[in-house]
Chains A and B, each alone.
Chain A
Amino acid sequence: MRAALNAAPADAVRGQSCGSCRYFCQAPHEIESQMPGIRSLGSAWASVRGSDGICRKHERYLGATSHCEDYEATRTRPTSELCN
């Protein structure tokens, strides 16, 4: 029990990163549609993109492990591949 409570803050922080936020979109199809030109000489499916995505709240392109105070857990699935 004590171990679980001690672990709580760390888990909470990890759980509240962009990868599980409802504002975060990392679906490659959506990234390609929102970044004109990427298809010409690149790809949203490339390894170099890692698991980055677009934050619709802050209008930024971010890593999935970023976090902020506006976090809202997605209700549909653990990671928001869906963009709407």
Chain B
Amino acid sequence: MTEIAESRLHAPKRESTWAGFIRKDDWWAIWIGLGLVAVAAGLTASGSSLKWLAIAPQKWATWPQALGQVRDHAVQYLALFALWAVLFGIGVSALGFRLSRFLPAFAVLFVVSLALYVLGQWDQAARYNLEPPLVALVLGLVVANTVGVPQWADAGLRVELYIKTGIVLLGASLPLTLIAWAGPVAIVQAAIVSLVTFGVIYFTGVRLGLDRRLAATLGTGGAVCGVSGAIATAGAVGARKQDAPIAISLVVFWAILAIFILPLLARGLQLPTGVAGAWIGTSEFADAAGLAAAQAYGGYAGHVAGITGTPEAAVNAFTLMKVIGRDIWIGVWAFVLSIVATTRWQPTGVKSKANAGEIWNRFPKFVLGFLVASAIVTVISSGYSYADYKKVVQPSLVAPLQALRVWAFTFTFLAIGLSTRVREFFSVGAKPFYAFTAGVAVNIVLGYLLSTQVFVGFWTRFGQ
């Protein structure tokens, strides 16, 4: 009886549902993103708007103009900083970071983001390729890998919290009907590429002599959702401790290269923004990296000759392809691979049991926030005529949320650069590198063919 009592005493504590709501950054992105959507909707309904707070720099031609803009709206920028600092501050505190570390780091992040945002509004920015996402990334990488970033600043460099919040806010500018219309195509296209890419990486890896668990971790990292795919699979199959970091390093290495390569290739091919967004969504390896590439490419619309479509189309097509087409399936991949690992692969000395509940457990919950935000704005918009939508809903509800989303994405792009250490890329070993790179090559070519040949009509229409 004593043994029974002891075993019960030490039974693994199941995290309560409520604890999950405050201990995961997915949920904080939902609380922050949907909270902003709800406030914006409430203000619109009462005849007011969030737009005073959702300040964004406007186009400028000379430095005095740029500085004058910032000076004239200084109070609004301070209020915006306070808003983000409070919202993200509450979130990171709940995750276990100290506010005393978050606040100074976030203040620096905000000020530099403001400078980058202003720079991106220069009327000659496109001519010199000064797209804010790319400049933010390069600046962050240079600082992190030369001067260095102190460890305490990690509290303010929460890439996932910022990008997930931005994606939830993005839902507010994507009608639910559009998601329902384009979602199935995104799922089919992404499924083809994911399955082929996983197969190439996995079988190349096994052929090169890699452990099957490492090969599977690399495979889902390249095929499904980057770092998230790698850590979900590593845990599900019981990979060695060093396997996930190998996959993560390769994902980060190729994802950052692809941020520059994919927009460059698409620009050379003069792809419409919707088509380029779909390609980036199919072939990029991480949400944050892909959004940097898609937003940079969207910035070419109207500024670079031959590139048609709207700037929003690149980001929207990317998000549908990556989030709806790839991310939401990670739990299924992890579950299936855990069955294969426990029934077919060499035992490890640790026993695991595949559990279908893991599909929900590992589901990227922020996607729910994205869908709910879309549903809220769709329902609100349905009560207006098209003319009234353009006159009321767009400027007072959607536009401020879009501005806030661009801020969240800018924090993300800068934080990616500031938290990436290039030296970590060099410890992965040749065989994992070859296996992953084989998948990258197939992924990019297949993503290009599907986006620009097979589904080109669809994605071109989507962009218009």
- A residues engaging B (CB < 8 A)? 4, 7-8, 11-12, 14-20, 28-29, 32, 34-52, 54-55, 58-69, 73-74, 77-79
Contact = CB atoms under 8 A, between A and B. Distances in A.
Contacts of B229: 48
Contacts of A4: 1, 4
B186 interface: no
B365 A37 contact: no
A59 B241 contact: yes
B12 A65 contact: yes
Contacts, number: 208
A74 B13 CA distance: 12
The main secondary structure of chain B at its interface with chain A is: helix
Interface residues of B, number: 76
Given A36-B245, A61-B241, A41 B288 contact: yes
Contacts of B15: 51
B252 A41 contact: yes
Given A41-B159, A44-B231, A47-B366, 14 more contacts: A4-B1, A11-B4, A12-B4, A14-B7, A18-B350, A20-B12, A29-B96, A37-B424, A47-B363, A49-B231, A58-B348, A58-B350, A60-B239, A73-B10
Given A28-B96, A52-B231, A58-B349, A74 B244 contact: no
Contact of B419 (A15, A40, A58, A67): A40
B235 interface: yes
Interface string B13-45: 101000000011111000000000000000000
A58 B398 CA distance: 51
A37 B249 CA distance: 6
Contacts of A41: 159, 226-227, 248, 251-252, 255, 285-289, 416
B306 to A, nearest CB: 31
Interface centre among A4, A17, A63 (most CB of B within 10 A): A63
A28 B350 CA distance: 22
Interface centre among B95, B231, B286, B338 (most CB of A within 10 A): B231
Contacts of B231: 35, 38, 42, 44, 46, 48-49, 52, 61
B351 to A, nearest CB: 6
B351 A66 contact: yes
A39 B241 contact: no
A36 B249 contact: yes
B8 A65 contact: no
Interface of B: 1, 3-4, 6-13, 15, 23-27, 95-96, 154, 157-161, 225-229, 231-232, 234-236, 238-245, 248-249, 251-252, 255, 285-289, 330-331, 334, 338, 348-353, 355, 358, 361-366, 416, 419-421, 424
Nearest to B330: A48
A43 to B, nearest CB: 4
A49 B229 CA distance: 9
Interface centre among A15, A69, A79 (most CB of B within 10 A): A15
A69 B228 CA distance: 30
A47 B368 CA distance: 12
Nearest to A79: B13
Given A41-B252, A46-B26, A36 B13 contact: no
A42 B3 contact: no
A62 B238 contact: yes
A37 B12 contact: no
B236 A43 contact: no
Contacts of B232: 48-50
B361 A66 contact: no
Contacts of B419: 39-40
Nearest to B28: A45
Nearest to A69: B349
B226 A60 contact: no
A11 B5 CA distance: 9
